[in-house]
Amino acid sequence: MKKKVLLAAYVALVVIAAILGIVLSGMMLDNFTGSEFPFEIPPEYLPGVRLAITFKTVISLVNMTLIFLMLAIYVDLYRKIKTNFTAGLLLLIIVLLLNAMTSNPLLFLRFGFPLGAGPFFIIPDLFSTIALTVLFYLSLE
């Protein structure tokens, strides 16, 4: 029974994160209309760009929520059994969280970078590489 209640709470948090992503992206994109948009987009492409930014924002926030939930699980597991494997999993989860945070398009827009340019173009891939390196190392153990 407890597992079903926890699963329902996790699903509710993910749904809340998705709704928050829609609301936040709408608010941020409404602040960047017309000439204030940090990069030039032909007007006919603007609806598609807004949809893509909203979709990526929702995915990013859902990922962050799932990662926070997994982080809580693995911290609890690490408290119970302090092994190198669980410490490695904690490191992996933290790096994935950083990846999700820096791949959020609202971060691009907030700092005035065009999507896919600036330092935030590379940073998420760097965090993915670190996460995969940790996973590879743990797989060899």
Q: What is the pLDDT of residue 115?
A: 63
Q: What is the pLDDT of residues 21-55, one digit of tens each?
A: 778 777 776 666 555 555 566 667 667 777 777 77
Owning domain of residue 108: 2-140
As for how many domains the chain has, the answer is 1
Q: 103 falls in which pLDDT band (50, 70, 90)?
A: confident
SS (H, E, C) the chain: CHHHHHHHHHHHHHHHHHHHHHHHHHHHHHHCCHHHCCCCCCHHHHHHHHHHHHHHHHHHHHHHHHHHHHHHHHHHHHHHCCCHHHHHHHHHHHHHHHHHHHCCHHHHHHCCCCCCCCHHHCHHHHHHHHHHHHHHHHHHC
Q: 85 falls in which pLDDT band (50, 70, 90)?
A: confident
What percent of the chain has pLDDT above 70?
A: 70
